Structure 1
């Protein structure tokens, strides 16, 4: 990591949120999140139920509820067709459980990442039809499956799509397409995860039948899927995750209990960040390396013995995933061009495991602050994943190169794609041209948004408690970052394996703070007697004791 561009947000206008009677710092942090009146502040801090949208405001929801209700009454077999990531697995689990609770005959299906690829495919639709399925409901996929939906209809299958991915050009001709990103702006919240969209379908069904109280149990999985998919934790997502964390802390799901045990976590002390860094990678691992069904079974099993076996299996898969990622990340680095004066990276090979190309792309995009495309080269087809930066929309770029592709889809900063092998060099040039045009004149360094400029001696335990009122934290609602100027360095050490980290003691007036800078050890020589330091507040756990500390994100000589 190198130094980043600092963007210090201006102080709020005088009298900001005056009627809310809030501490000035909290008012400033809320203003930074676009909250400008006391009613909004109360809703954000109290995480009011009014943050939930009426599910019937989602386009096609009435059609979907009518068709599912008919299937339940007539005893049809319903297939829930989920994506193989944590979002898709969690959404599939809640839909399967919910419809089964309503007396439905339900089966779940996940395509194999390598042999079938992402989304619907004709072979799986044939297999489902042969099992007696008459209605297919997708979770976290389907929005780009135009030909597959048409094939399903010709085969006598009705399809309901629940998805949240970017809509690039029209909608498949499904019986219903439930996606908050549809052009119709009737639904008040745009950023639901795939699990969230599936939950809204269940909510509409249970609301119609007067059984909404039974949905609370499912909020643990809604929370895991939502946090895992890195959607903004604002609006309705904030409500779902806050309530879901409460459900998760006392969950009766033996699979979650066993997975937490294997990961060394305590469910009653978990925060959203623990899902991001611990639970989500484990749930994703089977789908990356083999098949997602074991993650699904772990979530829905009632057997303690099966839960322990599956949790241990998932733990091994995650360890294997970490090892493979390290090996192929090192190999990818060897292929990097000299220097970083390039607008885009596109690297791959014949034996790249398809399940980890997205992880490698994400790590390199974070490191070099460039769009990164990593691919697995097959005999006839190239499959890959892209991770990007806010300045470059990879879905739009792929859309503009779509004549070279077999399929693509995703979000502005994360996408998947497939193309005939003979088109690879042309795609590389097409993407490079677009990146050069859009990025060549920009300062391509990651920016660091600083929410408040505060003397370090004013930081105290009550500040940490005040900041905690903004939780749960995640994308769209980050942990607040502060800047303290002219802090005196009274101790500086490189710590950790290979001296990767930086441990400091900082003084401002009579106040002394311990501070840790992860992955900043290589910058130790740049530490001067006085520094301006950017950080957030954390609880440092050491030898069973908890103390408040600074998590250093960047620093510079005091000016």
Structure 2
């Protein structure tokens, strides 16, 4: 229940928060065989799993089976009582997840190029016969995140096409699809994510209708992502028991976001890219005699914009890579210090 709640991005409030909190306790002490093997293969630290561990590491591996092959493999992993079978299936999922990451990066670059060539409109639509349906939602999500607009990615067929959409808070995508239901064969989802199937001949009409709805509903919207900052602090303020105190509010996720901090005039000691395709940033930041490690996921393309001093917005997290636990700054945004 804990994994499903986080993976489906259900709000972490009320009963959901309790289910995830108690589920994490079990995963950290007596995980099922299959979950334990995923934890091991992914290099996570047993006993220190969080909701973020589910959303960023465990869920993507379980989902990789259905995206690239068949979801039954993940079901078998979760249900097996054989240590050897659990190990074999976890290794297979790890390989599939790596394959999924590479495929996602490749297809996202193609879809992004298509979107830019078409022009950035209130509703982004990328359609092609070669887009893998299993990762269409991931691609749509990254497009919506980068351009801050609802996005749909469609795999086109000769007679039938299927697609996935991701949205922004200002636009209810399932409501928009409901208004276009006469064009669709099947559809479902919620306000921020949806999937659908339709006759290919109806695709131009669907695109036209959705574009009109988005243009009307987003006409007065500021289509830039907004940051809610909880506190302005200096890096030395974060020493001591700050992180442990903050964990009393966990688990964090949709509906209960991790506290977001702003620090002005931090000194950049070191900065470089990392990860596949240099898509992430790794930094060392100094202020008031303290030096912190920082990471900026999907911010690698902004390396040239790093100045000697930065104003940074970030979350606090534990980095357990390599079996060693240490606090680091997960950078959400930055700007040259004023």
**TM-score, with length taken from structure 2:** 0.90
Task: Note the C-alpha offset of 1:444.
Answer: 0.9
> In structure 2, how many angstroms separate the alpha carbons of the residues matched to 1:452 and 1:297?
45
Aligned equivalent of 2:58: 279
CA RMSD, Structure 1 to Structure 2 (Å):
2.4
Aligned equivalent of 2:180: 401
> In structure 2, how many angstroms separate the alpha carbons of the residues matched to 1:257 and 1:432?
45
Task: State how 1:99-248 maps to structure 2 within 5 Å.
Answer: 222-248=1-27
Task: Note the C-alpha offset of 1:499.
Answer: 7.9
Secondary structure of the equivalent of 1:269? coil
With over 3 angstroms needed to count, the CA separation of the structure-2 counterparts of 1:303 and 1:547, relative to structure 1, is: closer
Per-residue CA shift, 1:397-454, capped at 9, x if unaligned? Answer: 0011111111211010100111111100000000000111112332211111101123
Aligned equivalent of 1:494: 272
Does the alignment pair 1:410 with 2:189?
Answer: yes
> In structure 2, how many angstroms separate the alpha carbons of the residues matched to 1:416 and 1:490?
43
Residue ranges of structure 1 left out of the alignment (5+ in a row): 1-221
Task: State how 1:317-336 maps to structure 2 within 5 Å.
Answer: 317-336=96-115
Aligned equivalent of 2:254: 475
Quick check: 1:365–1:387 contact (8 Å CA) kept in 2?
yes
With over 3 angstroms needed to count, the CA separation of the structure-2 counterparts of 1:353 and 1:515, relative to structure 1, is: closer
Aligned counterpart in structure 1 of residue 214 of structure 2, from 435, 442, 445: 435
> In structure 1, how many angstroms separate the alpha carbons of the residues matched to 2:133 and 2:300?
33
Aligned counterpart in structure 2 of residue 386 of structure 1, from 161, 165, 182: 165
With over 3 angstroms needed to count, the CA separation of the structure-2 counterparts of 1:519 and 1:380, relative to structure 1, is: closer
Secondary structure of the equivalent of 1:247? helix
With over 3 angstroms needed to count, the CA separation of the structure-2 counterparts of 1:496 and 1:425, relative to structure 1, is: same
Task: Note the C-alpha offset of 1:554.
Answer: 1.7
Quick check: 2:279–2:297 contact (8 Å CA) kept in 1?
no
Aligned equivalent of 1:194: none
Quick check: 1:490–1:507 contact (8 Å CA) kept in 2?
no
Secondary structure of the equivalent of 1:417? strand
> In structure 2, how many angstroms separate the alpha carbons of the residues matched to 1:256 and 1:495?
31
Aligned equivalent of 2:237: 458
With over 3 angstroms needed to count, the CA separation of the structure-2 counterparts of 1:347 and 1:457, relative to structure 1, is: same
With over 3 angstroms needed to count, the CA separation of the structure-2 counterparts of 1:554 and 1:380, relative to structure 1, is: same
Task: Note the C-alpha offset of 1:328.
Answer: 1.8
> In structure 2, how many angstroms separate the alpha carbons of the residues matched to 1:522 and 1:327?
16
With over 3 angstroms needed to count, the CA separation of the structure-2 counterparts of 1:422 and 1:367, relative to structure 1, is: same
With over 3 angstroms needed to count, the CA separation of the structure-2 counterparts of 1:464 and 1:288, relative to structure 1, is: same
Aligned counterpart in structure 1 of residue 44 of structure 2, from 253, 259, 265: 265
> In structure 1, how many angstroms separate the alpha carbons of the residues matched to 2:304 and 2:68?
41
> In structure 2, how many angstroms separate the alpha carbons of the residues matched to 1:321 and 1:519?
17
Quick check: 1:502–1:517 contact (8 Å CA) kept in 2?
yes
Aligned counterpart in structure 1 of residue 149 of structure 2, from 359, 370, 379: 370
Secondary structure of the equivalent of 2:109? helix
With over 3 angstroms needed to count, the CA separation of the structure-2 counterparts of 1:296 and 1:524, relative to structure 1, is: closer
